[in-house]
Amino acid sequence: MKKVILKMILKLGLLSLLMISTVSAEIVNKSYRQIDPASVPDYLPEGQVIEFFWYGCPHCYRMESLLNEAQLNDKVVKVPAVLRGSWMHLARVFYALQAMGLDKKMHAVIFNEIHENKNSLKSEEKLLAFLKQHQIDSETFKKHFNSDAVEKQAQNAALLTREYADGGVPAFVVNHQYVTSPNLAGTLEETLETVKKLLEK
């Protein structure tokens, strides 16, 4: 009788260890989280892949190169992240240029200016001088930058960032169903691989 009880205890112990091991593996391998498409707000842009980024973020700058290498950048819809108040300025820059039809043309240029030329573009003087170098009309830009439409877009971007950026950038929403980021996947490269896999689901 004692032998039978001992065998049962051993079996239960092994089963418990197996269950713990399985749960741990699931946690370790969880490189994304699922979201309910029905809960997605109507101001989340359409697109298979949505990237939350900040121009001042070196990881986002590096991700641009990885997306280009993977030939995915043309499929990615950009949303300027607003994790703190100081990020609102560059979000408005993005949307003002978008209103002028210049966001795609200037996207890599702004990243390069900030990270290679060490120009933060935080002051109006530096920003307008930079835009002038690229033949962008200052008055038209300021009109859009200070518009209610751009203000609304930037505020919506802040709400979306809090919901989907998981506390850091870059972060991605795939097919309005999944969220992944280095905070979940591990590295930039692993995040990109997760995006590719989620696109196939």
Q: How many Å apart are CA 83 and CA 98, to the nearest integer?
A: 20
CA-CA distances (angstroms) from residue 149 to 54, 80, 98, 134, 162? Answer: 20, 15, 11, 24, 20
Region 172-182: mean pLDDT is: 96
Of 35-39, 54-58, 175-179, the least confident: 35-39
Q: How confident is the model at residue 166 (pLDDT cuts 50, 70, 90)?
A: confident
pLDDT of residue 26: 36
pLDDT of residue 29: 52
Answer whether 49's CB lies under 8 Å from 172's CB.
yes
Q: How many Å apart are CA 124 and CA 96, to the nearest integer?
A: 14
Q: How confident is the model at residue 5 (pLDDT cuts 50, 70, 90)?
A: very low
pLDDT of residue 167: 85
pLDDT surpasses 70 at 30: yes
**In the numeric block, which tokens belong to residue 4?**
């039978």
Q: How confident is the model at residue 14 (pLDDT cuts 50, 70, 90)?
A: very low
Please give the CATH number for the structural domain made up of 33-199: 3.40.30.10
CA-CA distances (angstroms) from residue 113 to 67, 81, 137? Answer: 19, 18, 18
Q: How confident is the model at residue 1 (pLDDT cuts 50, 70, 90)?
A: low
The pTM is what?
Answer: 0.84
Q: H-helix or E-strand containing 173?
A: strand 171-174
| Digit-coded pLDDT (tens) for 120-144 | 999 999 999 999 999 999 999 999 9
**In the numeric block, which tokens belong to residue 193?**
């691989």
| Segments making up each domain of the chain, as ranges | 1-30, 33-199
Q: How many Å apart are CA 193 and CA 59, to the nearest integer?
A: 16
- Our CA dihedral for 166, 171, 177, 178, rounded to 10 degrees, sits at -80
